[in-house]
Structure 1
Amino acid sequence: MIMKGVRLFFGVFVLLLFSCGGEVIPKPEGMLRLSYPVPKYKEVSSPCHYTFEKNEYSELEKAKKNKKCWYNLEYKKWKATMYISYFEINNNLDSLLRDAQNLTHEHVIKADGILQEPYIDVDNKVYGMFYEVSGDAASQSQFYITDSINHFIVGSVYFKVKPNYDSVLPAANYLRNDMKHIMETLRWK
C-alpha cells in the first residue's frame, strides 16, 4: 500500500513537472482609455460687458464672491472649475497685468515649465496671454484678456484633486482647449 502511494506521488510529480513546459505568454498590458466628448459650444448671455462661448458640458454659475460679472464654469464630470473674473480698468491696467502675471508665476515652485502664448485679435480689440503650466501645479491653464482701455478678464482652471500632472493631463488638455475657445470667442459689448 505504501508502494502504491509512493508511485502515485511520483506519477503526479512527473505529470506536474512536464505539464509546465509550454511557451509562456505574458498578459498584454492594459491601456487606460479616457474618452472625452466632442465639445459643443453656445454663447453665454449675461448682463456683463462681454460675451463668450462655453462648452455645453460645463455649467455656468455666478461666483460666490458676489462680484458683478464673475463666473465659474463647473466641469463636474472632471472635478474642475474654470474661474472667470472681470475687472473694469480705472487707470490700473499695470497693476491688473502684474497681478495676473503673478498669479501664474506663483506656480513656478511646483511647475516644470510655463508656456506663454500671446493672443491678439485686432478686429475685436481682444489682447491677452494664455499660460500653460506643466508639472504638479494647482492650475494647468490660465489667461488674461483685455481691450487695454475699459475691460480686463482673468481666467484659471483648478481641479478639486491633489495636483498630479500625469493623472490630470488628459482632462487638463480638454479644458485648455475650452479656455482657448473662450479667448477666441470673447467679444466686448
Structure 2
Amino acid sequence: MRNLFLLIFLTLFLSCKEDVLPKPKAYLSLEYPKKIYKNLEIYRPYSFNILNNTSVIDEKNNWITIKYPALKASIDITYRPVENNLKELLTEAEKLVYKHAVKAEQIIPKDFVNPKKRVFGSLYEITGNAASNLQFHVTDSTNNFIKGSLYFYTKPNYDSILPAVDYIKTDILELIETLEWQN
C-alpha cells in the first residue's frame, strides 16, 4: 500500500512540469483589394460611383443589384419615383430598417444633406446579427427616391462579417456622395 501511494505521488509530481494554457484567440487576416471606383454604366434616373471589382445586375423598374462575389454579398437598390408620396416612401424605408431591431444590438443613423446636388438621405448601421447591417435611403425630395440594403449570403454572424461590412460601408458612402439625379 505504501509503494502504491509513493508511485501515485511520484507520478503526479513528475508529470506536472508545465502549466497548461488555453490557446489564444486567432484573428482573421483579411486583405481587400485597393478601391478603384467607376461610374455606374447602365442608364438610370440616377448615377453614382461603384467599386470596380463588383458586378451590376440590371433589374426591372430601374432597380439594380451590386454584387460582391468575393465577399458573397450584395447591395440591393430599389428606385421609386416621388409622386406626392415622399412621406410614405420615407416611412416605408424606416420601417424596413427598424424591422431589424429584434436582432439588432444598436441602430446608428447618419444623415446626409447636399443641397447643391439635391441629395438628402440617411445611412443606418445595424449592429448585431441582423439580416442587413447597412441600409440607406436617398432622395431629391421632389422626383426620385432610392433605398439600398446590404445583404450577405450567409447566416448573420456580426463578429465574422464586421470587416466586410466596414469595407462595403465605404462603398455605400462613395455611392451617396457621388449620387447625381439624371432628370
Deviation at 1:28, TM superposition (A): 6.7
Secondary structure of 1:78's partner? coil
Distance 1:46 1:170 in 2: 29
Residue 131 of structure 1 is matched in structure 2 by 124
In structure 2, what is the equivalent of residue 5 of structure 1? none
Q: Could you say what the CA RMSD is over the residues aligned between the two structures, in angstroms?
A: 2.1
Q: Aligned with 1:100: secondary structure? A: helix
Larger mean CA deviation between 153-162 and 36-45 belongs to 36-45
Match of 1:120 in 2: 113
Secondary structure at the counterpart of residue 47 of structure 1? coil
TM-score (norm. length: structure 1): 0.83
Of all paired residues, the percent bearing the same amino acid is 40
User: Counterpart amino acid of 2:135?
Assistant: Q
Q: What's 1:47 paired with?
A: 43
Matches of residues 23-172 of structure 1 in structure 2 within 5 Å? 30-63=26-59, 67-172=60-165
Summarize the Cα distance change of 1:29–1:121 in structure 2 as closer, same or farther, 3 Å threshold: same
Scaled by the length of structure 2, the TM-score of the pair is 0.86
Q: Which runs of 5+ in 1 are unaligned?
A: 1-16
Q: Tell me by how many angstroms 1:29 deviates.
A: 5.7
The AA in structure 1 aligned to 2:58 is: K
Once residues 144 and 22 of structure 1 are traced to their aligned partners in structure 2, the CA distance between those partners, rounded to angstroms, is 58
In the comparison of the two structures, how many residue pairs are matched? 171
Amino acid aligned to 2:45? H
Instruction: Summarize the Cα distance change of 1:27–1:149 in structure 2 as closer, same or farther, 3 Å threshold.
Output: closer
When Rg is computed on C-alpha atoms for both structures, the one with the higher figure is: 1
Runs of 4+ in 1 over 3 A off after TM superposition: 20-31
- One-letter amino acid of the counterpart of residue 161, structure 1: T
Distance 1:77 1:94, change over 3 A: same
Alignment-mate amino acid for residue 33 of structure 1: S
Deviations 1:72-112 (A, max 9, x none): 00101111010011110111111100010001000000000
1:168-187 alignment to 2 at 5 Å?
168-187=161-180
CA, structure 1 residues 118+23, in 2 after alignment: closer, same or farther (shift >3 Å)?
closer
